């Protein structure tokens, strides 16, 4: 993170983090202790504001994990808003269902269990907002499946596009070289795609935001 934004700035901004949500704090603690990738708190807070701005009725999330972002999205939807979230890990699904049950927005979240490459082509209704946060080597293929499912004027939101600062680094740790190259390639594809107006911003681990033309 400190490769993207100065540590002193992160420390300053941390005072504005909401510390009063017991469930979110519990989930963040679990994710940290068990090495579960979730949105940074800055990116999650930005996502919540964006959801309020866009006011989507139908949201598709690709990569549920423990439902950290699913819950934060659902809590900011209006009464009839729904989140459909895709997850293939059975262990994650069990954890996600447990947290969703505690969230108070259980009726707004539907987990689609299975492989996104099998589920997405079968989806018929389009979405107002799509959040992509899955395996990095699959970003390009999932993006190509996502755009046709997005309504005109709809928003696609993608996490980890700075990849801990590695996409902009001259030297990348060997274990991250392959994933870094996947993301670098995706970033070019994302920005150049004529079907959306896109930008990458240095919030959290790097967020991509695109609006369908």
Q: What is the DSSP string of 8-77?
A: HHHHHHGGGS----HHHHHHHHHHHHTT-----HHHHHHHHHHHHHH--SEEEEE--TTSHHHHHHHTTS
Distance CA 93, CA 76 (A): 22
pTM of the model: 0.92
Mean pLDDT on 188-210:
95
Q: Look at the chain and report how many structural domains it folds into.
A: 1
Q: Which residue has the higher pLDDT, 8 or 35?
A: 35
**Domain membership of residue 167 as a residue range:** 7-212
Q: For the ranges 15-19, 106-110, 115-119, which has the lowest average pLDDT?
A: 15-19
Distance CA 3, CA 24 (A): 26
Mean pLDDT on 186-202:
96
User: What residues form DSSP beta bridges with 60?
Assistant: 84, 130
Q: What is the pLDDT of residues 20-50, one digit of tens each?
A: 889 999 999 999 999 999 999 999 999 999 9
Query: What CATH code is carried by the domain that includes residue 105?
Result: 3.40.50.150
- Mean pLDDT over the full length of the chain: 93
- Is 2 within the bounds of a domain? no
């Amino acid at each position: 993170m400190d490769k993207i934004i100065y540590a002193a700035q992160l420390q300053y901004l941390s005072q504005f983090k909401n510390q009063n949500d017991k469930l979110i704090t519990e989930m963040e603690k679990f994710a940290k202790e068990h090495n579960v990738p979730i949105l940074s708190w800055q990116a999650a807070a930005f996502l919540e504001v964006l959801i309020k701005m866009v006011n989507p009725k139908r949201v598709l999330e690709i990569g549920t994990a423990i439902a950290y972002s699913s819950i934060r999205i659902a809590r900011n939807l209006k009464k009839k808003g729904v989140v459909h979230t895709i997850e293939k890990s059975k262990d994650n699904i069990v954890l996600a269902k447990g947290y969703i049950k505690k969230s108070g927005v259980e009726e707004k979240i539907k987990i689609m269990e299975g492989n996104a490459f099998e589920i997405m082509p079968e989806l018929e209704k389009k979405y107002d907002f799509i959040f992509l946060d899955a395996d990095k080597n699959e970003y390009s293929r999932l993006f190509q499946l996502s755009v046709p499912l997005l309504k005109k004027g709809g928003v696609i939101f993608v996490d980890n596009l700075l990849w801990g600062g590695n996409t902009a680094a001259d030297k990348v740790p060997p274990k991250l070289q392959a994933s870094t190259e996947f993301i670098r390639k995706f970033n070019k594809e994302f920005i150049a795609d004529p079907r959306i107006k896109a930008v990458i911003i240095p919030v959290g681990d790097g967020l991509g935001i695109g609006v369908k033309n």
